[in-house]
Amino acid sequence: MKALDFWTPASTKPIGVERKVLCWVVWPECGWPQPPEAIIGWWKHGPACFAVNEIENANHIVTLWAEIPNPNS
């Protein structure tokens, strides 16, 4: 499996219930530049948006996402 096969473009939204997902976040350039990073965030199906840290609607900074596998299944 190639590393990019793990990720789904943020333009393809998750389907189903609200849940934690891994988000690839590209921070806007303001102040100190911060490199892109993977952050555990939320998929919020009600407003159809990603959320990371304290940012409720983070669609503008999430470029890729991936499911977090359930270790119990």
pLDDT digits (tens, 9 = 90+) for 13-70: 999 899 999 999 999 887 777 899 999 999 998 889 999 999 999 999 999 999 998 7
Q: Is the pTM of this model over 0.85?
A: no
- DSSP 8-state assignment for residue 1: -
